A and B are shown apart, each in its own frame.
Chain A
């Protein structure tokens, strides 16, 4: 009897926790998933203003303008379209013109993207997979960017 009781306790407890965890992650996933848009996709079918999304592309040469107390404006491109981005934090050390970056934030009513975070990598030759895919889609991918080797280790 005690053994059966114990099994009931364990199965009941495990089931409850399992159901709670699944429900929790489903609800949280629905709210917390952030979609990625390439510049061309934004041009064709922009996400709603205020919706939290990620955008990315190559930083357009000459587009970076420092503003305010440590903020910046810049544009990213996939070769076919551009996105204008404003960011009022300190840009990461690896942020550079011509480099692939991903920014998370939301579009304002004026179509300018307000970034909460700008992601650049530890690794100067790293290309975010979404940016690489976006460049491939517009035919602006140069194969020498992706020789499958880590930084510096190029044959």
Chain B
């Protein structure tokens, strides 16, 4: 009964999205009229229908109703309550439902919070968003319905993939989707602006908060995924330039370019066409990501099973999104107007350089990610493009962007002028930290390129420090929050560069086979296997090792890495134990058991030391907080009287 109601609600949301698209389209001429209101109501009703559908799917998971194919594939009665709930979006169909739910939330959000001062633009955007909802909901209803029945019903579910049973991964997909789908709002606004013939400046202003919100969520989502890969996959890496990671990185690069160019459009009327094009491309790349990840066309560590039919659907949706956006842009871009002029040393020029470099980085990532597909389409020998390609292309381009970054906040709009911004004190404040970081890294044996990376990271952090030093110059809560947001985000990427450079500089890994009582040394510490015991959980069996860490004879605590076996999925996972310190993480994973010749049991132990790796997490948190601060700055500004 519940499943049938769920199917009905998805169909209802589909019909409501069609109504939203048509009514709002008809209502854009008279934004206060009955058609426009009906469009907005349809948007709200579509959201309500999917909220209930999502709740119903959650109920089916809690009831362990294995007559529903999706529940049977992703749940199990043994599963803890928390993972029963997160299992709702743990597989393809449920995550697609979440995607559609967020799309309708953006539609309803556009209707309610869309540009107040430009009702026609708002209503038109609601209509475009309705069209996006329609496409994805048709895919959900016809080719990925989470409420499809399984006949005969399964006696027991297969369980959520154990590797996904993790707190960080429970919130990683919703965050990531919020970012991807948030960009759909920017896309709809850009399309609406082109249809309505808006100038670039008001359009940039309308897109700014949506771009900022989506970018913040995307940043947090990618960071959570990377953190999860670091501790759950048990290899210790945090970024692999894997196709699925690249699929999220390309929209992030575009969104990063967009939040900067939208500021220049909003404030100074610069880059009208380019900002609009970026808005269209950012969501197009999100849809490309959905296609790459869900169709399984690329070999990825993160890939789910292949499904050609799904791939075709998503490819068709992608072609419509990209085609409609680019065609309309080609026809209407001239109406956005010419950009305001600026000098080569103005802030606009620096934002332009930032955009150029970020777009170039997205371009080389795009080339490397899709190259295997081109080769395959041409019938060549299957190839893959690995980390060396991306390290040689995207990394230097982004490093150059970081070199320019500290200058931009000090440049005046329009007129610019280097001499006023580059005071000797400021120059020293940038060069000294960079030189110290680079030379220290070199002295500690870092490879020259990694030392350069450390210098650039310190340079960026120092630039953000100089920026925040102007705190007293920002008058009022809004400007203060905006300054804090910018400085935090800029410092955050600097810290990420520092963490990445340090991780690349001093890789340290030791492996040993340890029976209770035996020890190994790793990074100046002695690791002693004290005992191995059974530590079974609700739906898994586990071998837990207690490994005491001592340094120079002083005890530093006990690490407890685990090796879990999940019978429902017949799968083993590693739960690594990490001791985080200021110098870095001591990272211990428990490998396979080995039986010694004398019959004694021992375990493979892999110990790694990841220097300064906390800087990656700290940096990503700063970037996210910076986005939130910049968002709230806009909220404060908006509420200010006058």
Contact = CB atoms under 8 A, between A and B. Distances in A.
Interface of A: 2-3, 6, 9-10, 13-14, 17-18, 20-21, 24-25, 27-29, 31-36, 54, 66, 69-70, 90-91, 93-94, 102, 104, 119, 121-130, 132-133, 146, 148-153, 155
Contacts of B384: 33-34, 36, 54, 104
Contacts of A33: 371, 383-385, 389
B396 interface: yes
A53 B559 CA distance: 38
A126 B296 CA distance: 9
Nearest to A129: B299
A41 B189 CA distance: 52
Contacts, number: 170
A153 B513 contact: no
Nearest to B70: A153
Contacts of B85: none
A35 B572 CA distance: 30
24 contacts: A2-B343, A9-B344, A13-B356, A17-B356, A18-B360, A25-B367, A29-B368, A33-B384, A34-B386, A35-B383, A54-B384, A70-B512, A70-B592, A93-B163, A93-B571, A93-B572, A93-B573, A119-B299, A126-B304, A129-B382, A149-B307, A150-B91, A152-B157, A153-B73
Contacts of A9: 344, 349
Interface of B: 69-70, 72-74, 91-92, 150, 157-158, 161, 163-164, 234, 296-297, 299, 301-309, 341-344, 349, 352-353, 356-357, 360, 363-364, 367-368, 371, 381-386, 388-389, 392-393, 396-397, 511-513, 569-574, 589, 591-592, 594, 604, 606
A124 B569 contact: yes
A33 B375 CA distance: 11
A53 to B, nearest CB: 10
A123 B162 CA distance: 10
Contact of B161 (A122, A146, A148, A155): A122
Q: Main SS of the interface on chain B?
A: mixed
A129 B606 CA distance: 31
Given A35-B383, A93-B234, A123 B73 contact: no
A149 B364 CA distance: 33
Contacts of B74: 152
A36 B69 contact: no
B78 to A, nearest CB: 15
**Chain A residues touching B, majority SS:** mixed
B344 A32 contact: no
Contacts of B344: 6, 9
A122 B303 CA distance: 7
A123 B161 contact: yes
Contacts of A123: 161, 303-305
B6 to A, nearest CB: 17
Given A54-B384, A148-B309, A129 B296 contact: yes
Given A9-B344, A24-B393, A152 B356 contact: no
Given A14-B356, A122-B302, 13 more contacts: A6-B342, A32-B386, A34-B383, A70-B591, A90-B234, A123-B305, A132-B306, A146-B306, A148-B308, A150-B304, A151-B304, A152-B73, A153-B72
A129 B297 contact: yes
Contacts of A34: 383-386
A155 B68 CA distance: 11
The residue in A28, A35, A152 that gathers the most chain B C-beta atoms within 10 A of its C-beta is A152
Contact of A10 (B161, B296, B352, B513): B352
Contacts of A151: 73, 158, 161, 304-305
Contacts of A35: 381-383
A90 B604 contact: yes
A106 B381 CA distance: 17
Contacts of A153: 69-70, 72-73, 91
